[in-house]
Structures are given as C-alpha cells and as structure tokens.
C-alpha cells in the first residue's frame, strides 16, 4: 500500500511536460518531476474501459510510487428529476469506481448535483440518499476499497460547499469523504475566506465531524481562481493577477495549514499550468 501518512502532491491528469501524452507516460513524468500523485481525469468520460488496462496503469503507478485518484465525469446530477439522467449519473460514478478499484486508486472525486432552485435541505437529503445507495452498490460489487469523494464546489448553484459535504459525510458514516477544493472555497465565499485562519477552520471542522482519520486521509484540489459574486469563473495559475481585481489565493497560507494540521492523503493541482503549481506547492510544503 502507498504511504498516505504523508501528504502526496500531484497533478490533475497527465503533466503538460509529458512528451508522448498518455496515462502511463504521465505517471512516469509525475515521478520525474518529483511529484507523488496523479488524478486520472475521466471528466469527459471513463476513457479506461478494461480491467486489464486499469491494472496496467495501476502497476505503472506502483512501480513509480505515484498514488492515483480518479475524477469522475462532469456530467453528473444526483438531484435530477429525470430518471435517465439520474441512472446515467450513477453509472458514471460506478464505472469510475470500478476502474479505480482495478488501478489501485483509493478515491473517486465526483461533482454531485445542481440545486436546480429546489429547497436546499431537500436536495441535501436526496443527494445523501444517492451516496448511501452508491456506497452500498460498491460494497456489493467488491469495489469498496474506493472512497467516494464529493467535491466542494465553487458556484452557489452547485451542490455543495465544504460545510454541507462534511455534514453529509458524517451522517453517511463511512465510505464517503469530502474532496476539499480550496480554490472553490475562496470563490464560493466571494473572497471573504482566503486566509490561514479560514483554511485552518476547514481542517478543524473536518477533524471535529469526521475524526482525525479524515485528516490523515484527505483529498484536496487546489489552483488559483477567478470568481464573481456567483462564485467560480475559471481556474488561474497561483500568482496570476485576477482580471477582476481580486487578491490571489493565499496559497502559501493554504499549504501552511496543511503542514500545521499534519494532514495526509493527496493534494492535486488543477492550475492551468498543472505541474508548475504542484511543484511550487510541494517545494513550499517541504520548506516549512
Ligand atoms: Zn472537479
């Protein structure tokens, strides 16, 4: 098993500097860059289909000591009243978890749902019910070594922010843990929570609600971010100036909070320059 007690920092998908861009070469390049994790981006579809291919990817990851995670397709709405969309959403998550299981990826990150102007509490209960069902199905299929990771979103129209997700995961009571996207957090709060204290508060709340184990096994996304009062607009490079004049994400404060709370798990750079900010975060982390 991978050493998750340390925090592994890595890339969202194949690093841009990879010469021949495929998953296996991407894993090797992550190691060349002295990074420790890579998220397989199934965002436009689960592009790895067979058990054999998944196992091959898993072998490559193991030999390079690169921890894998998976980002499930974007096209998911567990709050859809349309049965077909709901079924397709479930299938995308299960298919992602299946590949994750065979590739040795421990986490599948999911965008859960849209509020669709419905009552927020009802949506919470509905989506929670869907995760309970998904979890049960993973257990039945033997894929329950994979943790489902609903991602904290950056727009108020999307389910959900970190606080709701932490609450939901605590109520589910296992197999589902939040993926904390720090850039989305800053965007969702329109820049009001962009400090060492704000970032620490997230970790504090996770420990309170989900226990120290959750801090030992975090899954994180990070990047710079552009936002409006409706939330996230697009990802930026860490120190890139916002066209709208917002302060940049205080990424050093974020990394310092990770260090101070001694978190373990995986932190994935989703900056447009992917590996450049991953390396920056890692070097700063190690300098602390
Ligand atoms: Zn995402």
Quote the ligand 1 centre to 109 CA distance (angstroms): 7
**Distance from C-alpha of 205 to C-alpha of 145, rounded to nearest angstrom:** 25
Quote the ligand 1 centre to 248 CA distance (angstroms): 20
Quote the ligand 1 centre to 264 CA distance (angstroms): 20
What crossing angle do the helices spanning 251-260 and 275-287 adopt, rounded to 10°?
50
Quote the ligand 1 centre to 270 CA distance (angstroms): 9
Closest CA to 27 of 275, 284, 280, 276: 275
pLDDT tens for the chain, 288 residues long, are: 455 568 999 999 999 999 999 999 999 999 999 999 999 999 999 999 999 999 999 999 999 999 999 999 999 999 999 999 999 999 999 999 999 999 999 999 999 999 999 999 999 999 999 999 999 999 999 999 999 999 999 999 999 999 999 999 999 999 999 999 999 999 999 999 999 999 999 999 999 999 999 999 999 999 999 998 888 999 999 988 888 888 899 999 999 999 999 999 999 999 999 999 999 999 999 999
Quote the ligand 1 centre to 47 CA distance (angstroms): 17
Quote the ligand 1 centre to 235 CA distance (angstroms): 11
Ligand 1 is an ion; residues with CB less than 5 A from it: 151
Quote the ligand 1 centre to 214 CA distance (angstroms): 20
Q: Is residue 92 part of a domain?
A: yes
pLDDT computed for residue 1 by the predictor: 46
Quote the ligand 1 centre to 212 CA distance (angstroms): 24
> Structural domain tally of the chain?
1
Quote the ligand 1 centre to 110 CA distance (angstroms): 7
Quote the ligand 1 centre to 43 CA distance (angstroms): 8
CA atoms within 13 A on the CB side of 265: 26
Residue burial 210-247, b: 16+ Cβ < 10 Å; e: rest: beeebbebbbbbbbbbbbeeebbbebbbbebebeeebe
Quote the ligand 1 centre to 104 CA distance (angstroms): 20
Residue given tokens 């981006």 in the structure block: 41
Q: Is residue 281 part of a domain?
A: yes
Q: Is residue 47 part of a domain?
A: yes
Q: Is residue 72 part of a domain?
A: yes
Q: Is residue 230 part of a domain?
A: yes
Quote the ligand 1 centre to 222 CA distance (angstroms): 10
**Distance from C-alpha of 253 to C-alpha of 83, rounded to nearest angstrom:** 43
pLDDT computed for residue 3 by the predictor: 54
Q: Is residue 2 part of a domain?
A: no
**Distance from C-alpha of 65 to C-alpha of 30, rounded to nearest angstrom:** 10
Tokens representing 224 are 């710079």
Q: Is residue 177 part of a domain?
A: yes
**Distance from C-alpha of 202 to C-alpha of 257, rounded to nearest angstrom:** 10
| CATH code of the domain covering residue 157 | 3.20.20.150
CA dihedral (43, 45, 50, 52) positive or negative: negative
Q: Is residue 1 part of a domain?
A: no
Q: Which range marks the domain in which residue 176 is found?
A: 7-287
Quote the ligand 1 centre to 154 CA distance (angstroms): 10
């Amino acid at each position: 098993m991978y050493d998750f007690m340390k925090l592994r920092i890595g890339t969202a998908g194949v690093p841009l500097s990879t010469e021949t861009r495929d998953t296996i070469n991407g894993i090797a390049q992550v190691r060349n860059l002295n990074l420790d994790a890579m998220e397989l981006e199934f965002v436009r579809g689960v592009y790895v289909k067979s058990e054999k291919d998944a196992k091959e990817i898993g072998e490559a990851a193991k030999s390079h000591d690169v921890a894998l995670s998976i980002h499930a397709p974007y096209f998911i709405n567990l709050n859809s009243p349309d049965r077909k969309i709901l079924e397709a959403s479930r299938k995308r998550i299960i298919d992602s978890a299946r590949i994750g299981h065979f590739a040795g990826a421990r986490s599948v990150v999911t965008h859960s749902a849209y509020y669709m102007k419905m009552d927020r509490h009802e949506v919470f209960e509905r989506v929670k019910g869907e995760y309970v069902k998904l979890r049960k199905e993973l257990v039945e299929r033997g894929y329950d070594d994979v943790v489902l990771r609903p991602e904290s979103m950056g727009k108020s129209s999307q389910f959900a922010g970190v606080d709701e997700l932490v609450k939901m995961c605590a109520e589910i009571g296992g197999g589902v843990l939040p993926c904390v996207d720090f850039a989305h957090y800053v965007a969702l709060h329109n820049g009001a929570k962009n400090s060492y204290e704000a970032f620490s508060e997230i970790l504090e709340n996770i420990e309170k609600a989900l226990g120290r184990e959750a801090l030992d096994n975090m899954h994180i996304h990070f990047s710079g971010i552009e936002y409006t009062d409706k939330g996230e607009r697009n990802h930026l490079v860490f120190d890139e100036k916002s066209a709208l004049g917002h302060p940049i994400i205080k990424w050093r404060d974020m990394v310092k909070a990770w260090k101070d709370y001694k978190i373990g798990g995986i932190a994935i750079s989703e900056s447009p320059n992917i590996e450049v900010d991953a390396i920056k975060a890692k070097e700063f982390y190690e300098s602390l």
